[in-house]
Amino acid sequence: MANSDRKLFWGVHAQQPKWLKIILGTLPFVLLLIAYLWAADVRHTENPDDKLLPGISQMVEAMSPLMFEENRRSGTYVFWDDSLASLKRLAVGVGLAYLVALWIGMNMGVFSGMESMGGPFSTFIAMVPPLALLPILFITLGVDELAKVALIFIGAAPVMLRDIYLSTKALPREQLVKTLTLGGTDSAYVYRVVLPQLLPRSIDTLRLNLGAAWLFLIAAEAIASTNGLGYRIFLVRRYLAMDVIIPYVAWITLLGFTLDYLLRVFSRKIFPWYHGGGK
Amino acid sequence: MKISRKLLLAVAAFMLSSSALAANAFKVCWSHYTGWEPWQYAQDSGILKKWADKNGIKIDLTLVNDYIESVNLYTTGQFDACTMTNMDALTIPAAGGVDSTALIIGDYSNGNDGIVVRGGKTVADLKGRDILMVELSVSHYMLARALSLNGLSERDVKVINTSDADIAAAFAVQTKAAVVTWNPPLQQVRQQKGATLVFDSSKIPGEILDLMVVKTNADPRLKKALVGAWYETMKAMSGGGQTQRNAIAAMAKSAGGTEAEFNAQLTTTNMFYVPADAAKIALDPQLVKTMDTVRKFSFAKGLFGTNAKNVDAIGIEFPNAKILGDPKNIKLRFDLSITEQARDGKL
């Protein structure tokens, strides 16, 4: 029987039935969890008060007052307050960076005047390591919200801008010729021909840059802050409270994953043609 | 087959030899602070090696540039001993279940930590201001002490957690803010236009102690070697003559400043140059009162972690057999025995 030769895992022609796909997908997670719990157990047998690898129950115990009890001093629910503050900064910083990158990147790709002016400058700016700018941002913009949002913007905008510029340049020149011969104007070409094609591509750009944006957010919050997910991690790091740090990192990962997922779903729904057909 | 067996033997031999080596080699960390610069000098001058050799061990001294990282590394078991303050020794290793001993009381901050404000003259002027500082550090402790000594509380100010590396720069533009920090940033902050020092650690003498902390179950040879090397270094830096000049010059360089700056910082650091002085403060009943204030502050801020049900959860033992907190869970010990041996010249 040919079927018995069919490989399940190894080999370029291997095919996995659905049940195996699910098992394979969860396996690394389970292995990671087992490795963690084993290591935590070893350390706790040696030292019951060990802080480096807290058990699950310790994390629950540490997180529940942060999540479900009002903080005595500030009167807020710390965990949700932190999450909201961070998401706001991320949304404003990345949102502005996206709009600026899309608009300037697209125009640079179409108009050679814009290209000559913005090309060298955007390449130059993209090479500045944003984290190195952080002290300057804090001095010029203060320790309030503005400096944090500006860091995310400066970190994300040039990279997205260059990506969108390159995507615009990659559009076939025939489209421009056809638009103009059919009587279209310059701006009709930009906003009726180029922009619709760039939008789904720009959502991919946004998704790829969210990870970096999180990094800048956490870095800004670590330096001078009164709330936020990064603030809390660097605050409790002072006394090695891994029972708070690990759930916070897991939460940040989950938020990042969810944002990415939502953008993907949004893109599939609005631009089905971009994702290969009418599905 | 033959090759793999040889390889296995080689690996086994290597592991045996490294573990045999490990039993006689110890790792010690320190970070930059006026009162800890002598450690670098102890290493560079050969004093540390001399005392290690005398005790038949090897000591590997490492500078960890980030203070809090050094304390965390000690707590997680990467080092056998490390420099830290009394408050951090209580809230990080001791609260983390690592039985630790304050082996050497090197100095107390006598003005090395301070509160600086622009356009104000007293602690009362802090009311309603943004305060830039490293939250949950000794700075935070000192702010709480300063406020309570002046009839204010933390509710009267707004704390902004700011990294110690950026405090001086941030204060330059935050014209309404106040800062709490330590030297060397304190020196830069004080020099800024319109800045006034409204409170410093000399108003709470002996409360911020700078220690060399070692695992309680560490090899006694390591403890002896560290104490011996420390007091020989202290003698070099205070004994006068060319040796002292060389030692101070080396420490100023290691601290990244001029000799004048380093000497200025030394005047606000109450160094215990001789073991007898360190022994005296360890036996002073004031130490118990200080640690009681420190532990109450720490517990109120949640620094004992979620396992701690009350302020007595962690036991602290003092040389005169006095104990604060749970006697069954002693995790921080002020041990005088080796300092006394040094005092009596028996090391």
| Residue B185 or residue B11, greater confidence | B185
Determine whether the interchain pair B161/A237 forms a contact, defined as Cβ–Cβ distance below 8 Å: no
Bridge partners, residue A70, by sequence = A77
In tens, the pLDDT along A15-34 reads 889 999 999 999 999 999 99
What local confidence, expressed as pLDDT, does residue A1 receive? 44
pLDDT, residue A279, reads 45
Residue A2 has pLDDT above 60, yes or no: no
Q: How confident is the model at residue B205 (pLDDT cuts 50, 70, 90)?
A: very high
Residue B167: what pLDDT?
Answer: 87
Contacts B305 to A, Cβ<8 Å:
49, 51, 62, 239, 241, 243
Cβ burial A107-116 (10 Å sphere, 16+ → b, else e):
bbbbeeebbe
Over residues B279-305, mean pLDDT: 93
Question: A164 or B173: which carries more pLDDT confidence?
Answer: A164
For the segment A121-146, the average pLDDT, to the nearest whole number, is 86
Burial annotation B142-152 (CB, 10 A radius, 16+ → b, else e):
bbbbbbeebeb
A72 chain-B contacts, CB cut-off 8 A: none
Cβ contact B91–A239 (<8 Å): yes
Identity of the amino acid at B187: Q
pLDDT, position B8: 56
The distance of B127 to chain A (nearest Cα, Å) reads: 16
pLDDT for A47 beyond 70: yes
B224-277 pLDDT tens trace:
999 999 999 999 999 989 999 999 999 999 888 899 989 999 999 999 999 999
What is the C-alpha separation between A109 and A197, in angstroms, rounded? 13
Q: What pLDDT, on the 0 to 100 scale, is given for residue B1?
A: 46
Mean pLDDT of A40-65: 88
- Per-residue confidence (pLDDT) for residue A3, from 0 to 100: 53
> How far apart (Å, rounded) are the C-alpha atoms in residues A130 and A176?
36
- How far apart CA A89 and CA B242 sit, in angstroms, is 57
DSSP-derived 3-state class of residue B176: coil
Q: How far is CA B262 from CA B78, B254, B283, in A?
A: 30, 10, 30
Q: What's residue B3's pLDDT?
A: 55
Q: Which two tokens stand for residue A227?
A: 């709330």
Q: Is residue A105's pLDDT more than 50? A: yes
Name the pTM for this structure: 0.82
Smallest Cα distance from B99 to chain A, Å: 10
Residue closest to B102 by CA, chosen among B324, B302, B319, B249: B319
| Distances B81 to A58, B272, B308, B319 between C-alpha atoms, Å | 27, 19, 25, 20
Average pLDDT score over chain A? 89
**Does residue A49 sit at the B interface (CB-CB below 8 Å)?**
yes
Give the tens place of pLDDT for each residue, B146-156.
999 999 999 99
DSSP letter assigned to residue B311: T
The verdict on A241 touching B (C-beta cutoff 8 Å) is: yes
Nearest-angstrom CA–CA distance, A118 and A107: 10
pLDDT band at B2; cut points 50, 70, 90: low
**pLDDT > 90? residue A250:** yes
Residue B108 above 80 pLDDT?
Answer: yes
Residue B287, pLDDT > 90, answer yes
Q: Identify residues of B whose CB sits under 8 angstroms from chain A CBs.
A: 68, 72, 75-76, 91-92, 95-98, 130, 132, 134-137, 154-155, 158-163, 166, 169-170, 172-174, 303, 305-307, 331
The residue behind tokens 């997180």 is A63
- Supply the pLDDT for residue B183: 82
The pLDDT-based confidence of B165 (bands split at 50, 70, 90) is: confident
Q: What is the topology classification, in CATH, of domain A63-270?
A: MetI-like fold (1.10.3720)
Sequence-distant (≥ 6) Cβ neighbours of residue B195 within 8 angstroms: B116, B117, B118, B171, B189
Q: Of all helices (H) and strands (E), which one includes residue B256?
A: none
What is the structure's pLDDT at A11?
83
Contacts A243 to B, Cβ<8 Å: 305-306
pLDDT in tens, B114-143: 999 998 999 999 999 999 999 999 999 999
pLDDT tens digits, B48-100: 999 999 999 999 999 998 888 899 999 999 999 999 999 999 999 999 999 99
Q: Out of A3-12, A172-181, B112-121, which region has the weakest mean confidence (pLDDT)?
A: A3-12
Which chain B residue shows the shortest CA-CA distance from A75?
Answer: B155
